[in-house]
């Protein structure tokens, strides 16, 4: 047992001390957060920028009312100018753009033109469209003899909010956030299984082609070597997760420091901008999820799934020698169920109780990934129990069989064995 620990620590430290490990571990979340920060920064900057727009209102469209809801636009009316005469002047008078409203039939409006030096931003062109539509609606209401004020008093504008009832009381939920969390968990397990599984395979191949395996096997049992490698690399994966979680927590608490006004707006409930609303929904949606349960299930399925597949990857690494292509051929059948699991997972986020989703989350080769697709929903207890037991059983069985394949394969050089031969080794007695 001591020797297995020794192997685990070597596998672990040689990987963790590598520069590439530090780089990917720290850079990945930083890139994600930096991206996030840039989006927030841009949306805040957008609210302070004013666009001055001139209007030549030949149709007297805005004569009755002009209420610019959007503070981004500063509107001014220009008299005694035509579209042709003003086109050379608006820039000198400090306008970024001007809107020309020619005389037109109120029942059949056509296109309107906005002149500008550079292309108009999407929010601004939407705001202008809104402005014109509102004005035309007002004109039409008046034509039918309806007071716009009366009309406004009878239009309704309601919003639906989802409340999740749990033991701890009601919380605001968000379907979008639940979707996001499921998907993120699923894709993480999918990626980790493939990335760390291949690392196990490469490590075994390295030991075999360097012939160090023979030296080590004269000191420890082959099974100890295999187990040490699998556990050591799995610990590297967990370390990476732990670092990511710490970085996320640090950065999340750093956001209010970097953007103090947003958080103030959210907490006081005065947030008006849509982007800021999104952040509010996100924090509320996150707190509505059963986070402890999700974390537990995620860690369990990550570990059990990784261990199950890692032993297969180790067996493949032990039977091939040097030839990368041979390894790829043998790895393909192992990747198939992982990819299948991913496909079922994306499907089961939308249909968490479909037959396919239930089957996929019980079947041990796909369950680590598919279960993540259902993780934010209420999964019946028996399904979780059966799924976990099946997965643990499969892991034990695979390790037993692959341990024997590994023992034979690691010392065989030359021809790649067939599947039949490998199975024969796997079920050999003793």
Chain contacts with other proteins (rule: CB under 8 A): 3, 6-7, 10, 14, 206-207, 210-221, 411, 430
Closest approach, Cβ 426 to other proteins, in A, equals 16
Nearer to other proteins, 89 or 211 (CB): 211
Question: Strand 97-101 vs strand 51-57: parallel, antiparallel, or unpaired?
Answer: parallel
The answer to whether 233 and 310 are in contact (CB under 8 A) is yes
Closest approach, Cβ 207 to other proteins, in A, equals 8
Rounded to whole angstroms, how far apart are CA atoms 338 and 360?
11
- Cα(first)–Cα(last) distance of the chain, in Å? 20
Nearer to other proteins, 65 or 219 (CB): 219
The answer to whether 114 and 97 are in contact (CB under 8 A) is yes
Residue 301, burial from CB neighbour count under 10 angstroms (0-12, 13-18, 19+) = buried
Closest approach, Cβ 294 to other proteins, in A, equals 38
Closest approach, Cβ 6 to other proteins, in A, equals 6
Closest approach, Cβ 212 to other proteins, in A, equals 4
In 3D space, the residue among 178, 333, 286, 304 whose CA is nearest the CA of residue 237 turns out to be: 304
Closest approach, Cβ 3 to other proteins, in A, equals 6
Nearer to other proteins, 9 or 267 (CB): 9
- In this structure, what token pair is assigned to residue 282? 């996100």
Nearer to other proteins, 146 or 215 (CB): 215
Nearer to other proteins, 167 or 420 (CB): 420
Nearer to other proteins, 19 or 167 (CB): 19
Nearer to other proteins, 55 or 213 (CB): 213
Q: In what order do the strands lie in the sheet with 113-116?
A: 73-77, 51-57, 97-101, 113-116
- In this structure, what token pair is assigned to residue 145? 């003899």
Closest approach, Cβ 46 to other proteins, in A, equals 50
Rounded to whole angstroms, how far apart are CA atoms 360 and 340?
9
Hey, CA dihedral for 123, 125, 128, 129, is it positive or negative? negative
- CA-based R_g, the chain, Å: 32
């Amino acid at each position: 047992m001591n020797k297995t620990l020794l192997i685990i620590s070597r596998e672990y430290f040689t990987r963790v001390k590598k520069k590439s490990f530090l780089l990917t571990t720290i850079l990945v979340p930083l890139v994600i957060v930096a991206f996030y920060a840039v989006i927030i920064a841009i949306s805040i900057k957008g609210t302070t920028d004013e666009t001055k727009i001139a209007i030549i209102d030949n149709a007297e469209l805005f004569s009755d009312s002009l209420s610019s809801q959007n503070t981004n636009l500063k509107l001014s009316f220009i008299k005694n100018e035509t579209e042709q005469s003003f086109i050379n002047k608006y820039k000198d008078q400090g306008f970024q753009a001007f809107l020309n409203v020619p005389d037109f039939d109120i029942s059949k409006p056509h296109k309107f033109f906005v002149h500008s030096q550079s292309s108009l931003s999407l929010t601004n062109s939407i705001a202008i469209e809104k402005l014109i539509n509102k004005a035309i609606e007002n004109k039409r209401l008046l034509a039918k003899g309806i007071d716009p004020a009366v009309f406004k008093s009878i239009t309704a504008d309601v919003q639906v909010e989802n409340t999740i009832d749990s033991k701890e009381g009601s919380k605001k939920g968000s379907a979008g956030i639940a979707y996001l969390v499921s998907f993120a968990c699923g894709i993480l397990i999918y990626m980790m299984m493939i990335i760390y599984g291949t690392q196990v395979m490469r490590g075994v191949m390295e030991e075999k082609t360097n012939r160090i395996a023979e030296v080590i096997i004269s000191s420890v049992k082959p099974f100890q070597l295999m187990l040490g490698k699998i556990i050591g690399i799995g610990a590297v994966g967990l370390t990476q997760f732990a670092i990511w979680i710490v970085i996320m927590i640090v950065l999340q608490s750093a956001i209010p420091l970097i953007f103090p006004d947003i958080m103030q707006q959210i907490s006081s409930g005065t947030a008006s901008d849509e982007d800021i609303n999104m952040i509010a929904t996100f924090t509320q949606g996150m707190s509505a999820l059963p986070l402890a349960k999700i974390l537990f299930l995620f860690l369990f399925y990550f570990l059990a799934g990784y261990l199950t597949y890692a032993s297969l990857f180790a067996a493949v690494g032990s039977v091939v020698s040097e030839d990368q292509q041979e390894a790829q051929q043998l790895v393909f059948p192992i990747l198939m169920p992982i990819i299948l699991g991913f496909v079922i997972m994306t499907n089961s986020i939308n249909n968490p109780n479909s037959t396919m989703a239930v089957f996929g989350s019980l079947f041990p080769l796909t369950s680590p990934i598919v279960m993540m697709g259902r993780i934010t929903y209420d999964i019946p207890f028996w399904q979780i129990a059966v799924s976990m037991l099946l997965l643990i059983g499969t892991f034990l069985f695979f390790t037993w069989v692959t341990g024997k394949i590994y023992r034979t394969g690691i010392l065989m050089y030359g021809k790649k064995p067939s599947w039949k031969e490998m199975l024969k080794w796997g079920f050999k007695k003793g």
